[in-house]
Amino acid sequence: MIEIQGLQKSFGKNQVLNGLDLKFSEPGLTAILGPNASGKTTLLKSILGMVIPEKGDIYVKGKRIRDHYDYREDIAFLPQIARFPENLNASELLKMVQVLRKGDSDAEPLIKKFKLEPSLSKKLKYLSGGTKQKVSITSAMMFDCPILILDEPTAGLDPVSLMEFKALIDEEKKKGKIILLTTHILTLVHQLADRIIFILEGKVFFNGTPEELLKKYNTDDFEAAIASLTQQEVLTHV
């Protein structure tokens, strides 16, 4: 459903994506991992059309995204840090997003899941970081889109909300959606990921299942395998 061919992007002298080739066609969750500044968020924003690469092409459902923008209707995006008008209350924000986006939406199940009812009438500027994140999750995932792009989605969530979020992602996976996730929480990756892509300096250095990663480093410790992968690739490129 998503195909990336020879993607290159630089910011000044810093080449962030370096001839990236990827394909996301199978339902399930793909965790995109790598050190800070490895190109993860730039990759996601390129898929969304928020970053324009110098070279390469991206196709969604067989169509080149540079030729049209309506493909975004099939994507729900949860940014790492959402910037909302803080003079609005949470309820007004959700209604505004529903009006701006096409397609059916239903915020009520998510409002109940994250116990947001007491916060709906409060202005966003008075909400805690964790509550803002739950509002952000609700605003993104109240639309039934076949593709979910989640950039560090659990920032600020308390343990109970994190459990609810993981249950929500499991539900979305069962619907056959393609889910792309960046996160530094490795337990979340181990529990949810069907596939792992490790990016360093804008290139792919691992693309496989969690089981294949464990086998590669001959361990049953997932965090140790990720640490070994990171250390090996970083040392190779020092």
pLDDT score of 235 more than 60 = no
- Alpha-carbon gap, residue 213 to 53, rounded angstroms: 30
Could you tell me which of 9, 4, 33 has the C-alpha nearest to residue 210? 33
Burial per residue of 76-90, b for 16 or more beta-carbon CB atoms within 10 angstroms, e otherwise? bbbbbebebeeeebb
Residues 105-150: tens digit of each pLDDT: 999 999 999 999 999 999 999 999 999 999 999 999 999 999 999 9
Six-digit token pair at 42? 């730039």
Task: Note whether 65 and 49 are within 8 A (CB).
Answer: yes
Mean pLDDT of the chain: 92
pLDDT of residue 38: 87
**H helical segments located in 48-158:** 90-100, 108-113, 129-141
- Beta strands 195-200 and 203-208: pairing type? antiparallel
Phi-psi region of 71 (alpha: psi -120 to 50; beta: other; left: phi over 0): alpha
What residue segments make up the domains of the chain, in order of their start? 2-236
Let me know if 196 is exposed, middle or buried by CB neighbors in 10 A (0-12, 13-18, 19+): buried
For every residue of 33-49, DSSP letters joined together read E-STTSSHHHHHHHHTT
- Residue pair 116/105 in contact by the 8 Å Cβ criterion: no
Q: DSSP state, 69?
A: S
Contact 138, 84 (CB under 8 A): no
- Residue 140 near residue 75 (C-beta atoms within 8 A): no
* Radius of gyration in angstroms for the set of CA atoms belonging to the chain, rounded to a whole number: 18
- What confidence score (pLDDT) does residue 236 get? 56
**What is the CATH topology of the domain spanning 2-236?**
Rossmann fold (3.40.50)
Q: For the segment 155-195, what is each residue's pLDDT rounded down to a tens digit?
A: 889 999 999 999 999 999 999 999 999 998 998 999 999 99
What pLDDT, on the 0 to 100 scale, is given for residue 12?
Answer: 87
Whether 76 contacts 148, CB under 8 Å: yes
